[in-house]
Structure 1
Amino acid sequence: MFVAVNPVLPPFFRRLWRAARTVLAASLACAAGAAFAAVNLTVLMGDDMAASSEFVQRLRADQEPGGKFELVRLGPGGTETQPAAEQAADAERAANAGVRTRSLRGASSSSSSSDVPLTMAVGPAAARAAVERPGQEPLVLAMLSRLEYETLKATSPALKRADRRVGVLLRDPAMTDQLALVNAVLPQKHRLGVVATPESEPLVRELQRAAQGANPAWDLRVEYAPDARSIASALRLVVPNSDALLVLPDLIGDNQAATLSVLRAAAGAGLPVFGASEGLVRSGGLAAAVSTPSQLAQQARQLGQKVASAGNSSNAPLVEAATPATVRVNATVARGLGLRLPEERELTDRLAAPR
C-alpha cells in the first residue's frame, strides 16, 4: 500500500494556479481591510513572549488608517497593568499610527454607534481572562495550541456563553496538513510513527481521523510515554515499524530534550522526522509546515471578521487551525537520508492546493 499524491501540475498550469491564488489573496486582503476599517479592535496581551509581541505588532501595523486599536496588557490573575514607560511608548506609537491604547474598561463606552467592537486575546493567559470578563462583544482567542484550547474548553464554561460569538485560532496546523506534507515528501511511504503523552489524546484523535480519512489510509503507530524516562522505550516500539516519525505539538514537541531524543532515535534508524515548528527543522527534523506569528495575525483578522459578522445561530466557538503558509526543509538532513526533495516554495504550493 502506498500514499496517494496529488499529481504535479505542468509548469504552465502551476504558474497559472499561483497567479490566481495571489489575485484571490489580494482581493481577500482588501476586503478584510475594508471590513476592519470600522472595527474597534481591543487586543488583550497576557505575556511578553517574542511570538506574542510579533503577533500584536503585525495587528497594529495592519490597522486601517482611522481605525481604532486598543492594547490592554494583563498582569497575574488577568488584572490590567502597564508600566508608565510602556504607556508613554504606546501612546507615542498610537499617535504616529493613528490608533489608540486605552483601558478595556473604557473601550465600549467611547465607541461610536457605527463601530463593530471586537476583542482579540493573544495567548492562553489572555484567553482565560477574556472569556471570564463580562461583555457581549465578539471575541477571538489567538495563539493557542490545540491542547491549551482543550484545557480552556474543559475548565471555562463561560467559553460557550449564548450571548457572545467566539472564534479560536490555533497556532498549530491541522493534522490533514501535516499528513499532506509527509505525503508530498515521501510519496511511496505509508507508515507513520508517533510518540505521544497521555495529555496529547485530542491531538492523537485528530491525527487518527485524518489518517483514516486519507485514500489510502495511513498505517499509524502510536505509543505513549507517561514521562520523560518512558520516551526511549516507546521509541523502541515505534521506530522499527515506521517509515517516518511525526513530532506532535505537545509536551514532547515543546520540550527540547524530549524532541532531541526523538531526533536521535530517528537518525540512528535513518528515518525522517516531521513536525510543525522551524525549531524542529533547525534541530535535525526533515521538514515542517509552519505559520509565523505575523501570518497568524493576518489569519486572526480574517477570523475576526467572520465572527463579527456571524449571526447568533450557535454558541459553539468557531475553531480554525493555522493555515500553513510556509514549508521549511533541512537540506542537510535530506542529503544525509539520500532524499531529493522539491523546493520549499513548491512544497508550500502543494499544501495550499485543493485536496
Structure 2
Amino acid sequence: MGRLRRLISRDLHRKCYACLLGWALILLPGITASAYTLDNITIVLSDEGTAYEEFANHLNSLLQPSNKTSVRLLSLKNMANDEFSRATANQLVIAVGTPAMVAMAQKPATNLVLNVLVPRATFIKTAKQYNRGQDQRRFSAVYMDQSWTRQLRLIRATMPTRPKVGILLGRESSDYIAALQTAAKEVDLNLNIETVIDDADLLSALRRLLNNSNVILAVPDAQIYNRNNIPSILLTSYRQQVPLFGFSASYVKAGALAAVYSSPAQVSQQVAEIIANLAPGGGLPTPQYPRYFSLNTNQQVARSLGISIESDNEIQRQLKQLSEPAQ
C-alpha cells in the first residue's frame, strides 16, 4: 500500500489534468496535404511544449504539403489581436487544445476551424457559448476523449463477470448521463452514477459508489479528476478492492487497472486524413471521436486485486474488431 501511495504521489502530483494523457509516439505513413490545394494551414497551439507540439510536429510530417500550400505554426500567446480577422481563401485553422479553441471561437466565423485535443463536453459548451454550433462544417473537432462505447467495451473485455460500473459525475459532466446509459445498454453493463456537487461530497459519494459497483470508470471532468483528488480516489478504490479504469496512460502508471486513449500522433493521423479528403468549397466533417487508439493495463494492480486479464495486444485486437460511433 505504501508503494502504491508513493507511486501515485510521484506520478500525479506533478501533472495537471490537461497533461494526464500519457501520449506515446507512433510512426505513420505520410499523407498528401489535400485532394485540392489549400492556400494556408495554420496550426494554433494553446501552449508550447508537451503534447501540443508533438501533435503539430507529427501532423506536419504527415502532410507533405505542395509548394502552393503554406503551413505555419502559431503559439496562442504570440497571436496578434487581429489575427484571422480576414478570411483567406481555402484556409484551414487547426486549434490545438482548449485555450486555442476558445480563442478561435471568438474570431469571425470566416475560416474553417478544426479543434483537436479538446474534451467533447468542452467543445460543445464552447460552440454553444460563442454561437459556433450552428455550422459544424466550419467549426468542428476531433475529441481527445474516447467514446463511451469504447470505454465500456474495455471494461466488458477485461472484466466480463463484473457488470456493475460506478461513475462519478460533476457539474461539468452531468450531461453525460444519457449517452452513458445508451452505451451501457449496448454493451450490456449496469451503471451506478453519483453526482458530486462540491469537493466536500466527493469521498462520501465515492464510498457509496464503491459499495454498489464492481468497477469505477473515470471521466474527463476536472472538478473530480484533478491532481488534488486523484490520489484519494485511486487509494480509496484500491482499499475497497474495486479496480478503476482511467482515460490516460498516466492513470495506469499511477494505479488504475486499464485505460484506452489516443496519442497526439494518432490524432494527427486522423487530422491528416480529414485534410486529405477536403473538397473544394466543402466543409469539415462533423465532430468525431478519435479513430486510432492505444491501450494500457497494469498487470501489477491486476495481480494485487486477484484479477486475471489478457495482454494489451489481445484486448486492443478485440476492441478494434468492434465498430465505433463517429460522434
Q: TM-score, normalised by structure 2?
A: 0.80
Identity among equivalent pairs (%): 26
Q: Shift in Å at residue 75 of structure 1?
A: 2.4
Q: Provide structure 2 residue ranges, at least 5 long, that are not aligned to the other structure.
A: 1-27
Q: Shift in Å at residue 318 of structure 1?
A: 0.9
Equivalent position of 2:197 in the other structure: 226
Instruction: Please give the secondary structure, in 2, of the residue aligned with 1:320.
Output: coil
Task: Give the Cα–Cα distance (whole angstroms) in 1 for the partners of residues 251 and 194 of structure 2.
Answer: 20
Counterpart of 1:299 (choices 246, 264, 270) is 270
Q: Shift in Å at residue 68 of structure 1?
A: 2.6
Instruction: Please give the secondary structure, in 2, of the residue aligned with 1:257.
Output: coil
Equivalent position of 1:188 in the other structure: 161
Q: Shift in Å at residue 37 of structure 1?
A: 7.5
Could you tell me whether the CA contact under 8 Å between 1:37 and 1:64 is conserved in 2?
no
Q: Shift in Å at residue 36 of structure 1?
A: 6.0
Equivalent position of 1:336 in the other structure: 304
Letter in 1 for 2:70: K
Equivalent position of 2:23 in the other structure: none
Counterpart of 1:266 (choices 232, 237, 244) is 237
Deviations 1:279-337 (A, max 9, x none): 1111100000011112111112223445x33876xx99711112352111111101111
Letter in 2 for 1:129: A
Instruction: Please give the secondary structure, in 1, of the residue aligned with 2:274.
Output: helix
Equivalent position of 2:104 in the other structure: 130
The aligned length equals 294
Letter in 2 for 1:156: Y
Counterpart of 1:206 (choices 179, 188, 195) is 179
Counterpart of 2:72 (choices 66, 70, 73) is 70
Q: Shift in Å at residue 254 of structure 1?
A: 3.9
Q: Shift in Å at residue 236 of structure 1?
A: 1.8
Equivalent position of 1:118 in the other structure: 92
Flag the 1:59–1:230 CA change in 2: closer, same or farther, 3 A.
Answer: same
Q: Shift in Å at residue 233 of structure 1?
A: 0.6
Q: Shift in Å at residue 38 of structure 1?
A: 3.0
Task: Give the Cα–Cα distance (whole angstroms) in 1 for the partners of residues 314 and 51 of structure 2.
Answer: 26
Deviations 1:20-67 (A, max 9, x none): xxxxxx8xx66x536368333111223225111111111222221535
Equivalent position of 1:346 in the other structure: 314
Deviations 1:237-285 (A, max 9, x none): 1111111011111125640232222211211111111021111111100
Equivalent position of 1:144 in the other structure: 118
Could you tell me whether the CA contact under 8 Å between 2:63 and 2:272 is conserved in 1?
no
Equivalent position of 1:12 in the other structure: none
Flag the 1:69–1:311 CA change in 2: closer, same or farther, 3 A.
Answer: closer
Task: Give the Cα–Cα distance (whole angstroms) in 1 for the partners of residues 128 and 285 of structure 2.
Answer: 13
Flag the 1:79–1:208 CA change in 2: closer, same or farther, 3 A.
Answer: farther
Letter in 1 for 2:72: E
Q: Shift in Å at residue 230 of structure 1?
A: 1.1
Task: Give the Cα–Cα distance (whole angstroms) in 1 for the partners of residues 108 and 64 of structure 2.
Answer: 27
Letter in 2 for 1:309: A
Q: Shift in Å at residue 104 of structure 1?
A: 5.2
Matches within 5 A, 1:14-33: 32-33=31-32
Task: Give the Cα–Cα distance (whole angstroms) in 2 for the partners of residues 310 and 159 of structure 1.
Answer: 22
Flag the 1:179–1:324 CA change in 2: closer, same or farther, 3 A.
Answer: farther
Task: Give the Cα–Cα distance (whole angstroms) in 1 for the partners of residues 224 and 273 of structure 2.
Answer: 28
Equivalent position of 1:38 in the other structure: 37
Q: Shift in Å at residue 188 of structure 1?
A: 1.7
Instruction: Please give the secondary structure, in 2, of the residue aligned with 1:309.
Output: coil
Task: Give the Cα–Cα distance (whole angstroms) in 2 for the partners of residues 288 and 166 of structure 1.
Answer: 29
Letter in 2 for 1:138: L
Equivalent position of 1:53 in the other structure: 53
Equivalent position of 1:289 in the other structure: 260
Equivalent position of 2:6 in the other structure: none
Q: TM-score, normalised by structure 1?
A: 0.74
Equivalent position of 1:113 in the other structure: none
Q: Shift in Å at residue 72 of structure 1?
A: 2.3
Could you tell me whether the CA contact under 8 Å between 1:191 and 1:219 is conserved in 2?
yes
Task: Give the Cα–Cα distance (whole angstroms) in 2 for the partners of residues 310 and 255 of structure 1.
Answer: 43
Equivalent position of 1:170 in the other structure: 143
Task: Give the Cα–Cα distance (whole angstroms) in 2 for the partners of residues 310 and 330 of structure 1.
Answer: 47
Q: Provide structure 1 residue ranges, at least 5 long, that are not aligned to the other structure.
A: 1-25, 82-102, 110-115
Flag the 1:334–1:160 CA change in 2: closer, same or farther, 3 A.
Answer: same
Equivalent position of 1:248 in the other structure: 219
Flag the 1:284–1:36 CA change in 2: closer, same or farther, 3 A.
Answer: farther
Flag the 1:213–1:316 CA change in 2: closer, same or farther, 3 A.
Answer: farther
Could you list the structure 1 runs, at least 4 aligned residues long, displaced by more than 4 angstroms after superposition.
Answer: 103-107
